[in-house]
Amino acid sequence: MQLTGYFRSSAAWRVRIALAWKGVAYETAFVHLTRDGGEQHGPAYRAKNPAGLVPYLEDGGLGFGQSLAMLEYLEETHPEPPLLPADPAARAKVREIALAIACDIHPLNNLRVLSHLTGRLGRSEAEKLAWYRHWVAVGFDAIEALLPETAAEAGCCCGEQVSLADVCLVPQVFNARRFECPLDAYPKIRAVDARLSALPAFYETAPEGQPDAA
Amino acid sequence: MQLTGYFRSSAAWRVRIALAWKGVAYETAFVHLTRDGGEQHGPAYRAKNPAGLVPYLEDGGLGFGQSLAMLEYLEETHPEPPLLPADPAARAKVREIALAIACDIHPLNNLRVLSHLTGRLGRSEAEKLAWYRHWVAVGFDAIEALLPETAAEAGCCCGEQVSLADVCLVPQVFNARRFECPLDAYPKIRAVDARLSALPAFYETAPEGQPDAA
């Protein structure tokens, strides 16, 4: 298996966490999202991944984008240790939180959108930061309410078991801190993040330790 | 089962298609996203769904948001007729396209983001439309390239079987037409949309036929 990523991509970090959690060996490749105007726009990478985004996962003859598709694929092909519970209702609640991050926060705040705001739309750095923090606040308000009261004590989003919700949450919290988003209103999110960040599958795959972190 | 939706929500339409495809009986409830400033912001709905978005699915004691979580839940609890192939590699390709819509296009163009652009950011109607069309073009460029050459003839996104990719594509094409996005560059997308739109599970669940369509 080969994962093409970028150290600062929180979507790529999700997949690194899942691979580490399941103990799957893989090769790494890197696409630098800002150098030379963005290597993801080059014809070589576009021929492989027309969306021009990271991450990209290859396994034998299969290659595909979309980090959530990768997480589901890893769960299906390497079910142990699981990142989804067995019960469909519990799986739905895990996916609800994972998607609240992957659909409602991250797509609004990734590099291409921020570049579009400051480039094509001519917005200032301050307006870009306000945009970023707005969508983190809207998303975290919802997630803090969705997390069960037991989450802080359990140290993970859903029940007692680390899940795809956690795999998505930790990189999003990392990004929120990088953009200095206020997190005081989210004690459950902060408690879950603190506990998970102490687990090797999370801290060993963190952005700053990646080979392409300049 | 009860689905809370809004006739113009393409995310809600995805779930209506899947329910119809699988022949699942369900009750409907409606949240009007623009009347009185948006019923989704009211305390009654927020208590149920803190994200304040539609759709929302309830099944017995279970209730959750996020349309993709609903599609996976329906696939797990009502596997026939399937909307995912059996092979993990084929499932990954279906989810790649579904998520290219659900993560890379729709979250940038839904009502709350468009309202934020014209409200908080003070952008004009023309700038809002340009934003909408930009992200549809970026997303459809990728999806047109991702669709196999056989898609136009097969009349669905992946292989010979209607899948979650199709369930996401048709509502997105509908929205693109509503905002007058140019579609000439996407012959595969248009062919798939034309064939699928002739199937009852798609046209019987279309926005204009919903009880809350004013």
Contact B113 A108 (CB under 8 A): yes
CA distance B92 to A62: 9
- pLDDT value, residue B163: 98
Strands B27-30 and A27-30 come out as unpaired
Q: pLDDT tier at B34 (50, 70, 90 boundaries)?
A: confident
Please list the helix, strand and coil fractions of chain B in percent, rounded to the nearest 5, in that order: 55, 5, 35
Q: Name every residue whose Cβ is closer than 8 Å to that of residue A143 and which is 6 or more positions away in sequence.
A: A97, A100, A101, A169, A186, A189
State how far the alpha carbon of A100 is from the alpha carbons of A103, A142, A185, B75, B148, in Å: 6, 8, 18, 20, 30
CA distance A21 to A79: 11
Q: Name every residue whose Cβ is closer than 8 Å to that of residue A54 and which is 6 or more positions away in sequence.
A: A4, A5, A6, A9, A11, A12, A31, A33, A40
Q: Out of B77, B93, B134, name the one closest to residue A64 (CB).
A: B93
Element (H, E) at A2: strand A2-5
State how far the alpha carbon of A41 is from the alpha carbons of A13, A52, A53, A114, A159, in Å: 21, 6, 9, 16, 41
**What's the pTM value of the predicted model, to 2 decimals?**
0.97
CA distance B147 to chain A (A): 10
Q: Which residues of A68-90 are buried (b: 16+ CB within 10 A; e: fewer)?
A: bbbbbbbbeebeeeebbbeebbb
| Tokens read off for A170 | 């930790």
Give residue limits of the domains in chain B. Answer: 2-80, 88-201
* Chain A residues near residue B65 by CB distance under 8 angstroms: 96, 100
| Tokens read off for A142 | 């919802």
Q: From edge to edge, which strands make up the β-sheet containing A62-65?
A: A27-30, A2-5, A56-59, A62-65
- Span B44-63, average pLDDT: 94
- B2-80 CATH: 3.40.30.10
- pLDDT value, residue A13: 98
Location of structure tokens 């729709």: B106
Please state which of the four CATH numbers 2.30.30.60, 1.20.1050.10, 1.10.1060.10, 1.10.150.120 is assigned to the domain occupying A88-201. Answer: 1.20.1050.10
Q: Out of A73, A92, A102, name the one closest to residue B64 (CB).
A: A92
> pLDDT of chain A along its 214 residues, tens only?
999 999 999 999 999 999 999 999 999 999 988 888 888 888 999 999 999 999 999 999 999 999 999 999 999 999 999 999 999 999 999 999 999 999 999 999 999 999 999 999 999 999 999 999 999 999 999 999 999 999 999 999 999 999 999 999 999 999 999 999 999 999 999 999 999 999 999 999 999 999 999 7
Q: Name every residue whose Cβ is closer than 8 Å to that of residue B34 and which is 6 or more positions away in sequence.
A: B111
CA distance A136 to chain B (A): 12
- pLDDT value, residue B42: 87
- Burial environment of residue A33 by CB neighbours within 10 A (0 to 12, 13 to 18, 19 or more): buried
| Tokens read off for A118 | 């400051």
Location of structure tokens 């980090």: A67
B128 touches chain A (CB under 8 A): no
Instruction: Give the chain B residue whose CA is nearest to the CA of A99.
Output: B66
B95 touches chain A (CB under 8 A): yes
Q: What is the pLDDT of residues B155-205, one digit of tens each?
A: 999 999 999 999 999 999 999 999 999 999 999 999 999 999 999 999 999
